[in-house]
Chains A and B, each alone.
Chain A
Amino acid sequence: MSAGIDLENVVCDFGSFRAVDHVNVSIKPGEFFSFLGPSGCGKTTILRMISGFTEPTQGVVRIGGVDVRGQRPNQRPTALIFQNLALFPLMTVAENIAFGLEVRGIDKAKRRARADELLRLVDLPGAADKYPSQLSGGQKQRVAIARALAVEPAVMLLDEPLSALDLKLRQHMRAELRAIQKRTGVTFIYITHDQGEALAMSDRVGVMSQGRIQQVADPREIYNNPVNGFVASFVGENNIFDGTVVNPAGGMASYETPLGTFRARLGELATGKGVKLFVRPEHTAISLTAAVENAVPVTISEVSFEGSFISVHGVAAGGKTLVAEIRNDGAATVPAIGSAAFMSFDPALGAILPDAETDR
């Protein structure tokens, strides 16, 4: 019981404002797919178009291959978990969960049995006769999931369901959600602006900015091979250099900056204005002598111990600060503050990328 979703050239306008701009995505049955992007980029709007609360201005939405335009939310095989959960405060937990069955005319005993079964699935037995206001944040979360699962949807739509929880619970619920998805095999479409959440849970991630999809790929690919500057900087930290591309060849190029000329991978479409060089801090090395390639002389300005790694800041000529992260393997040598050093990176790990795709 799961279905794929196809968004074909989907556009959504609110008056003259374009909230979603020509989105094309194919989500496979049984996939855990996340939309990741900053606040206001149109994530919720996409979800509302899939669930049927908003009609696209242009384009087609297919669920399981069927064009669902014009179908009301209650006719679509989707279940939405709202950003604020929207549990019914005047009904008990069991009544909440059984509501979808109640409207389908299923008798009371069966409803109750199913509610209990789902409460066990989400690991919340014994809460059936409580009211939502008597539950903690994480428990409400589970009830919302159980309520959505009760109608046996082919697709579950989750709108930042963990954003109201504290860090610890959030991490726990990530694993929980993932496990429930695996157990039920339902397609999950998950929305978040938290990159850690998206990378940790998803089979694939669609990164969005200003109504447009920037990149769709699995988490590794997103992190290691971002297609443009927006994805690179939204997903993870970077040292960013401004400069110009010279003699590109075979996927590599030289990049001229005021701090010297570097060699790095050349991303697709990385031509013209707005092209920058991105190097992740954990791909930045520190040495006391000039390394063979891509080295920048710096003065160490700050060292902070973060536990599993050590973050080192160095100021280069012209005042630009570079950051390097050294893995804390117990034997890492850390330069003293004020000392001179070199920061460098492997050409295969630096990326020359174009600006985000936003021409509206």
Chain B
Amino acid sequence: MQDLIRRYGAGLTGLMVLLVAFWLLMLVIIPNITLFESSFRPYLPVVEMGGPRDVYSVNNYMKVFDGSVETTILGMTFMVPVHIRTFFLTIWYSVTVTLACFVLAYPIAFYLAKIANPKSVPTLLLLLFVPLWVSEVLRAFAWWIILALKGPLNSLLLSLSLIDKPVRWITDYDAVLIGLVYTYILFMLFPIYNAISSLDTNQIEAAEDLGASRWRIHWRIVLPHSKPGIASGAVMVFMLSAGSLLVPSILGSTTSQWFTQTIQQWMNDALDWNTASAYAFLLLFLCTAFVSLVMWIFRVKLSDIAK
């Protein structure tokens, strides 16, 4: 700080501090505190706000336990509250998407970093970047076209005689998962690619020279080295999936519901902003818990992830 004043003077330093304070206080901290505070307030008509009924309670959070549905897990049937079910399905499917992205992207990352001809890598990266620049809503829309009952995928499969009647792809969470993987896979690919690129190729050759098989080279050398990249990719993909509103809205079926959709319903349909706050806070809590878990599993720091 002293150093800043010496270099840029008190005026400029003060301005910079003010800008940062505005960002962190007005755009981050106070809004989230407001969110937290609102989540404990009841939904009241305007005239009653601040009145005797406007007291703090956990009622908004309790709403997740309303209205149960029958759910089958591992062959056993339970009665589970709808919103709880949505909440856990969102987590479960986001984890699935994250794993799928990892499995699909890891070989590509390795290929780009260690197998492809270095001259063609910039061009390949550019080709990979193109879909990233196309907006999310259009990417989800593209899959909506492809997966339609009378869409190109079914026509192709029919004409190849692989199926004999059109398959309904947009059912349950299937299309949502396909769309999420497609939309977010590059957020997994690039951090892993960066991590593997920084691995000295001699390390791989040394292991091979000592007799290691391909699998073991990946297990013992490449994967441990790319841990920070994997952690960062996993966090990004999970966060984006769990927080996605577009993809589940466009590719969802009548039986699929994402937690963000529930929040949106409280907010825009029921106009109950306080319950929406409570639910948003749950989402935030879930995401924080997931990031902490990943950081603990991979033993990485937050600064390693955001790169």
Which A residues lie at the B interface, using CB under 8 A? 51-53, 72-74, 78-80, 82-84, 86, 88, 90-91, 99-100, 102-104, 147-148, 150-151
Contact = CB atoms under 8 A, between A and B. Distances in A.
Contact of A103 (B203, B205, B210, B225): B210
Contact of A73 (B209, B221, B224, B225): B209
A99 B210 contact: yes
Interface stretch (B80-88, B165-173, B211-219, B277-285): B211-219
B255 interface: no
B216 A51 contact: no
Q: Majority SS of interface residues in chain B?
A: helix
B220 A86 contact: no
Interface string B72-111: 0000000000000000000000000000000000000000
Contacts of B202: 82-84, 86
Interface in B257-300: none
A150 B210 CA distance: 9
A72 B220 contact: no
Interface string B182-211: 000000000000000000101101111111
B200 A84 contact: yes
Contacts of A148: 210
Contact of B211 (A82, A86, A91, A151): A151
Contacts of A80: 205-206, 209
A142 B212 CA distance: 21
Question: Which 9 A-B pairs give the minimum distances between C-beta atoms?
Answer: A86-B202, A100-B210, A86-B206, A103-B212, A74-B211, A82-B202, A73-B209, A80-B209, A103-B211
Tier of interface size on chain B: 10 to 19
Given A80-B206, A90-B225, A100 B200 contact: no
A103 B206 contact: no
Contact of B221 (A53, A83, A88): A88
Contacts of A100: 210-211
A103 B200 contact: no
Residue of B208, B209, B220, B221 with most chain A CB atoms under a 10 A cut-off:
B209
Given A99-B210, A103-B210, A103-B211, 17 more contacts: A51-B209, A53-B205, A53-B208, A73-B205, A74-B208, A74-B211, A79-B209, A80-B205, A82-B202, A82-B205, A83-B202, A86-B200, A88-B207, A103-B212, A103-B216, A147-B210, A151-B210
Residue in B205, B207, B210, B216 with the greatest tally of chain A CB atoms within 10 Å: B210
B205 A104 contact: no
Contacts of B225: 90
A99 B220 contact: yes
A43 to B, nearest CB: 16
15 contacts: A52-B209, A53-B208, A73-B208, A74-B212, A79-B209, A82-B205, A82-B206, A83-B202, A86-B202, A88-B203, A90-B224, A99-B210, A103-B212, A103-B213, A148-B210
